[in-house]
Amino acid sequence: MSKELKITIDGCEMTAQEGRTILEVARENGVHIPTLCYHPRLRNAGSCRVCVVEVEGARALMPACATPVDRDGMVVNTRNERVLAARRMTVELLLASGNHDCPNCASNGHCELQDLAYELEIEHPRFPIQPPDLPFDNSNPMIVRDLNKCVLCGRCVRGCQEVQVNQVIQFGFRGPHTKIVTGGDTDYADSPCVFCGECVQLCPVGAISEKQRMPYGKAFEEKIVRSVCTYCGTGCVVDFHIINGRIVRVTGNEDAEVNRGSLCVKGRFGYDFIHHPDRLTMPLIREGDSFREASWDEALSLVAERLGRIKEEDGPEALAGFSSARCTNEENYLFMKFMRGTLGTQNVDHCARL
């Protein structure tokens, strides 16, 4: 079992389990340390240097995400001038090495680089701005790439490898020519990508984003509503991002035990049916060979009357009900209670039952 150690962060003494990182201990105790390449669902890369802190006794600044608490009496400073100057230098270099025109970026308001610039009070980088001038990749229907905004944090690479175990995305080329590539520098559609969108969700900036969102507004306009994906019985928890009453993108809920932020291609990108003009939004009642629209009250009264009549004339065993794996557990439970408790039949089944 790991030892409990006493350490001091920004003058406050706190208890830490030996081996926990400085970042984890700081966050558990309400101390803010900014990050960029770090994501709690991924292995630590310790590569961006945004989370550097000063550890007394160490000559260099240390990345908080990759430095374990390893001794009693450790003293850490997270916000002194030396630390802030190093973070500013890193963020200014990132801003200068890309095309970061925030007002014209779909991620405006939902971007960790933008948040860092605000936090560190950077209005303009002190270095000349030299974006890599890479072509905008708009060649598939789900994901767009603008690698001129990429900060090479590697979150997409680790997400594809570690979470989805797909190994589609890599760092390609070397030195100043380094860039993110899919399938040996081809488009997503020509690579082994399964379009799960894990890389889109993990990208902290506007380098990889959802294509369907683009015409409908910016990230800062979004209202988020939590729900459950209805494509299968797994029950992944989703966040609907809504602008002016329209769902503009879907992300996996990072706190949900069932999917921890991940989704499949259907759950993440298959939501255009919701606003499709052909979608049924009113009940239909059959009359001869055709259907007519009806109110919910009329439709439900008709169903109740017909079910009641069948039960009275032929008994409850003449009735059967089939539910669906697309419903939530709660909806399936209620359906089962309705069939057994209200109609009095055991004839109730479900497509996902083995």
Question: What mask, x for binding ligand SF4 by CB under 6 A, covers residues 164 to 183?
Answer: x-x-xx----------x-x-
Of the two residues 163 and 228, which places its CB atom closer to ligand SF4 in the complex? 163
Site for ligand SF4 in 227-286 (CB under 6 A): none
For residue 119, the number of C-alpha atoms closer than 13 Å in the C-beta half-sphere is 19
Q: Counting contacts by CB under 6 A, is residue 156 touching ligand SF4?
A: yes
Q: CB of 16: closest distance to ligand SF4 in angstroms?
A: 29
Q: Counting contacts by CB under 6 A, is residue 91 touching ligand SF4?
A: no
Q: CB of 261: closest distance to ligand SF4 in angstroms?
A: 12
Cα(148)–Cα(92) distance, rounded to whole angstroms? 15
Interface stretch with ligand SF4, choices 3-11, 56-64, 76-84, 154-162 (CB under 6 A)? 154-162
Of the two residues 154 and 261, which places its CB atom closer to ligand SF4 in the complex? 154
Of the two residues 70 and 272, which places its CB atom closer to ligand SF4 in the complex? 272
Of the two residues 74 and 87, which places its CB atom closer to ligand SF4 in the complex? 87
Note whether 235 and 163 are within 8 A (CB).
Answer: no
Q: CB of 188: closest distance to ligand SF4 in angstroms?
A: 6
Binder among 125, 154, 252, 261 for ligand SF4 (CB under 6 A)? 154
CA 164 to chain CA centroid, nearest Å: 13
Of the two residues 67 and 114, which places its CB atom closer to ligand SF4 in the complex? 114
Q: CB of 264: closest distance to ligand SF4 in angstroms?
A: 9
Q: Counting contacts by CB under 6 A, is residue 113 touching ligand SF4?
A: yes
Site for ligand SF4 in 314-343 (CB under 6 A): none
Of the two residues 66 and 334, which places its CB atom closer to ligand SF4 in the complex? 66
Of the two residues 240 and 269, which places its CB atom closer to ligand SF4 in the complex? 269
Note whether 148 and 122 are within 8 A (CB).
Answer: no
List interacting residues with ligand SF4 (CB under 6 A). 100-102, 105, 107-108, 111, 113-114, 149-156, 159-160, 164, 166, 168-169, 180, 182, 193-199, 202-203, 205-208
